[in-house]
Structure 1
């Protein structure tokens, strides 16, 4: 009898190369259609998590609420793994569990340090007032950070960036996914085109860079969640245009401060310090990912014939 063995190279990013994404005619179209279908499905899961997180973010929240949000997010990750296994013929390396604890902790530390550096820059430039500390509950902001960190990274990086990379290559994928990430924030309160552009550049590219560097979502999830939590609860600044109700400190732009420096009502993410910090980190990490060979997809599987058996 005859059989086949599949050989692949470990170099490059695993963006899917089997079943629905198999080599052949119109793979770019199949990858694009698969991206749209996954985007719609997991946006609905994200909305389910928001049922718990949004009220918590406004009212303070509690531990049971955070656990509900976390459960929905874990279910979303499990659903993604199952769908990818069925449709793409692989277990998603982007959700590899062995590296998850260390990479999540690393991402949390990086996100907290980055956002604190942004607030320090705003303070040193003389465009922000900071008061506190005060007694407050962190649970609402934890719920929001978990929700946004997990679901936005799953949708924007594992689905949009990965499948655009499969369809068109890394540079179009980076530009389009970052632009979409910024555009999705236009529906937030106090959003402007400038704020959305800042989000696209400083956060869209930076978070994509960590995914390209590791081939996994965990660092990106940690950075995203810690950025939002540190911005919202620790420093009490608006998070993507949404004013926080509970925070350790209270931070806001000084009256008359130029919006391009302070970010205005949208918050620190639309500020010059955020652009400098986020874009600087993005450039360094993107270069690191390029040096590791992750600016290209893994080669397509090579099917080799096995020896004949008599």
Structure 2
């Protein structure tokens, strides 16, 4: 069941002069608060874990994998809690975008969507002979879970219910959709093996997370989709994820065939940077955004 998107219409975002500027300033403040909350909660968890095990905390990278997974889970809860508290105090409203009643079904549905989409992409690349997919022994899973949860929660909370929502309040839904997509794809240009084409592929898929948020009015399905996409691509199929090989340890290993153009195989950036990914991501985005449009989710409503 869909929940109306609430952009914020009270407190700091009450109608009045310069509301657009208030929305943009609040967007920046809220993003910083949420990132700080995640890092503080995650680091505190790692320090406590080290203390209870009798070791000394030095850095996240040197902490045991299980402790890092726990830290990400606690950091995610901390980030979501600070978001809810800050919005309730500053915007003076309920937070249906974090409604807990549909959290588990939304997360499960989103995870399935993300996993099926990347599976279809890799299936096409394998059938065309552009990548090889071979079986490998399973060595670990905790690191992949940690990376998937971290990317799903942080990126979707920031992109969907902070940046997209408050840009929508400030400048309208279509500019918000375009700016958010450009920002997300642009931020990945600093990743290893990133190209303009890989950024274009990510740009094409940004409508998936936004469409799920628009259709449900909640962020959970977008988080599940993002985490499911990364986990399936990196751990299950063993491909690079946005140029990073940090999801290793799963049952399969996917690699580009030598001599095949990177735009066909995905190259070092991974399967999501291929023509198959571009087409499937774009189609999925258009379907979800089209459904959102038909159901009136794009229409500006005064009391949102």
TM-score, scaled to structure 1? 0.87
Deviation for aligned residue 1:121? 0.9
| Residue 21 (str. 1) matches residue 13 (str. 2) | yes
| Residue 72 (str. 1) matches residue 75 (str. 2) | yes
- 1:161-210 Cα shifts (integer Å, max 9, x gaps): 000111111100100001101111122222222212211222x2211111
Counterparts of 1:106 and 1:166, CA distance in 2: 28
Deviation for aligned residue 1:37? 1.7
Aligned residues: CA RMSD: 2.2
Equivalent residue of 1:252, what SS? Answer: strand
Deviation for aligned residue 1:136? 1.7
Residues 1:262 and 1:286: Cα distance change in structure 2 (over 3 Å): same
| Residue 255 (str. 1) matches residue 247 (str. 2) | no
Counterparts of 2:182 and 2:42, CA distance in 1: 23
Runs of 4+ in 1 over 6 A off after TM superposition: 49-54
Larger Rg belongs to: 1
CA contact (8 A) 1:242 1:266 kept: yes
> Runs of 5+ in structure 2 lacking a partner?
47-58
Counterparts of 1:292 and 1:240, CA distance in 2: 33
Which of 214, 221, 240 lines up with 1:212 in the alignment? Answer: 214
CA contact (8 A) 1:85 1:91 kept: yes
1:33 paired residue number: 25
| Residue 299 (str. 1) matches residue 291 (str. 2) | no
Deviation for aligned residue 1:11? 8.6
- 1:205-233 Cα shifts (integer Å, max 9, x gaps): 21111111111101100000000000111
- 1:12-66 Cα shifts (integer Å, max 9, x gaps): 521111111111111111111111222233333455588779749xx9923x432
- 1:94-115 Cα shifts (integer Å, max 9, x gaps): 1011111111111111111111
CA contact (8 A) 1:50 1:147 kept: no
TM-score, scaled to structure 2? 0.89
Counterparts of 2:136 and 2:226, CA distance in 1: 24
CA contact (8 A) 1:115 1:227 kept: yes
Q: Which has the higher contact order (CA 8 A, sep 6+)?
A: 1
- 1:232-281 Cα shifts (integer Å, max 9, x gaps): 11000001100143222111101111111112111111111111221111
Which of 187, 196, 199 lines up with 1:196 in the alignment? Answer: 199
Which of 101, 110, 114 lines up with 2:104 in the alignment? Answer: 101
> Runs of 5+ in structure 1 lacking a partner?
1-9, 302-310
Which of 38, 59, 65 lines up with 1:61 in the alignment? Answer: 65
